[in-house]
Amino acid sequence: MSTKAKTGAVIAGIVFILAMRLIFSSKSGSAAFNALTADAEPGLSYSYDSGASFYSFNSKDYFFCTKDGVKYLSSKGEQQWEEIISLSSPVLYGKCDILAVSEPKGRAVYVFNTLGKIMECKFDSPVLSFSVNKTGYLTVILQTASGYRVETYTPGKDTAIWKYVLVKPNVYPISADTSPDGKITAVSLLDLAPDAHHSMTTQIMFIYTYETDALNLDSADGIFAGETLHDQIARLYFMDNRLLAVSDTAITAYSFSSKEKIKKDWELALHNKILRFCVYGETGFGFLTGEPLSGSDEQTDAGTLNFYSMNGRRTGKYVFGSDANYLSMNWGSAIVGNGRNFSAVNNKGALIWSYKSPMDLKQLIFLDNDNMALAAGSTNASVMRRAA
């Protein structure tokens, strides 16, 4: 791979991380679904330049984020609380009922739960990417003057409990996440150093975040295990007691078999590019296939939605069509679409309902259950309920 191509791969990987599963939702009155179709009524309105972003997980209530701050609202539009912050362009990362908010190359990350702000962390360097787990642990990758720094923060504290400094040519941190109990932070590093056999490798480091757990290790950084993925760029997601490594050619699950040891539970080889990928809390995941991978002899149709449980087995699939470019998950089900046409599908692959929007939507997500949805366009949003 040429130097230009390698650099492009790094940029593509980092841009993917910065996208971070933006969720849009809304306040409104209700509109009725027919058996398999629905027509939305106007609801919440906001200006095009407000940077409006929304997030909800298994609740009638939801977060509403703009450049001016974060609000927590009920589906009837009742404000529960508001936090004033200033953002150039909100970037959201949600896990279960926890939401982290920042902005591209920002120097602060704000973490919220349903009761309000639980943490505000400010940094001396720009934030390249960040993640949050279901208990509120925040993990950030910072771009420093000399390289990169990865840090983990415990809920309610603005001082890092663990730091890792990376200053190495041709090595780039791509993704990082912390386990639900906060004891382990996993970091994926993309290594583009010349190699006779591989164009690139991803090194996954498993690290103790607390000094008390790392006392008996030889590693001063708390690193107790590692994995190497050849010719892959991997993003990391902690799913309860497992870690998912999602790359362009495979999805791999690791568990912790005993102290200071990890175990590869399963690996799913991919035959198509992943166009969209979503996790549902910590119980399952889904992905939408794109174009076939070159050289694969088991290619599937582009626009196929696949549901998987955390044992690595597919529970269902649904073929939407090659024009599919959108995916969201909640309540264990998913919504797949292409801007105006959407299908809601359960994790067995059965159609729940379909919807044709009169305008392009940025997001269509489940709210209180799979018969209630929030539809958001560029300037307004509405809540829809399926008729009995």
Summarised one tens digit per residue, pLDDT across range 5-35 is 554 445 444 443 333 332 222 233 333 333 3
If residue 317 lies in a helix (H) or strand (E), which one and from where to where?
Answer: strand 314-319
Q: List pLDDT tens digits, range 153-177.
A: 999 888 999 999 998 888 999 999 9
The answer to whether 279 touches 295, Cβ cutoff 8 Å, is no
**Residue range 274-291, pLDDT digits in tens:** 999 999 888 899 999 999
* Mean pLDDT, rounded, for 90-101: 94
Contacts of 114 by beta carbon, 8 Å cutoff, 6+ apart: 59, 61, 72, 80, 97
- Say how far residue 350 (Cα) sits from the centre of its chain: 24
How much is the pLDDT for 194? 66
Q: What is the largest CA-CA distance in the chain?
A: 63
Structural domains of the chain ordered from first start: 118-269 (2.130.10.10)
